[in-house]
């Protein structure tokens, strides 16, 4: 039972990392736009530096999530992961019963 629950937890962690990575990417784009806009309107202002700081924070978070997702990835083998018994037909008898 343990391998099945470990696999489910692995898939959940992978899905959660993919979702949070897309959130961090969107936040990074938002703060990049905000920093650019504020830098254009009021260069050197406190709002610009806060935007740049938040951009840096979300960049680091995105890099961390991407690195974690890369480390979590299972190397692909050529075969599907199937641990059940093979589906072969049982051996049939060739001679008539005595």
Higher model confidence: residue 25 or residue 82? 25
Q: What is the mean pLDDT of residues 12-24?
A: 91
- What pLDDT does 83 receive? 61
**Of the candidates 73, 60, 64, 58, the residue with the CA atom closest to the CA atom of residue 13:** 73
Q: What is the mean pLDDT of residues 80-85?
A: 58
**Of the candidates 28, 30, 6, 22, the residue with the CA atom closest to the CA atom of residue 65:** 22
Q: Is 80 helix (H, G, I), strand (E, B) or coil?
A: coil
Q: What span, in angstroms and rounded, lies between the C-alpha atoms of 25 and 20?
A: 9
The backbone torsions φ and ψ at residue 22, rounded to the nearest 5 degrees and listed phi first, read -70, -35
The H-or-E segment that residue 54 falls in is helix 46-72
Q: What span, in angstroms and rounded, lies between the C-alpha atoms of 85 and 73?
A: 26
For residue 72, name the pLDDT band (cuts at 50, 70, 90): confident
- What pLDDT does 6 receive? 78
Predicted confidence (pLDDT) per residue in 21-61, tens digit: 999 999 999 999 999 999 999 999 999 999 999 999 999 99
pTM of the model: 0.65
């Amino acid at each position: 039972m343990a391998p099945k629950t470990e696999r489910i937890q692995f898939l959940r962690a992978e899905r959660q990392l993919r979702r949070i990575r897309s959130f961090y990417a969107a936040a990074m784009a938002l703060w990049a736009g905000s920093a650019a806009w504020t830098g254009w309107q009021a260069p050197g202002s406190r709002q610009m530096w806060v935007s740049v700081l938040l951009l840096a924070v979300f960049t680091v978070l995105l890099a961390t999530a991407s690195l974690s997702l890369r480390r979590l990835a299972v190397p692909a083998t050529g075969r599907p992961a199937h641990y059940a018994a093979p589906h072969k037909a049982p051996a049939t008898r060739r001679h008539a019963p005595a």
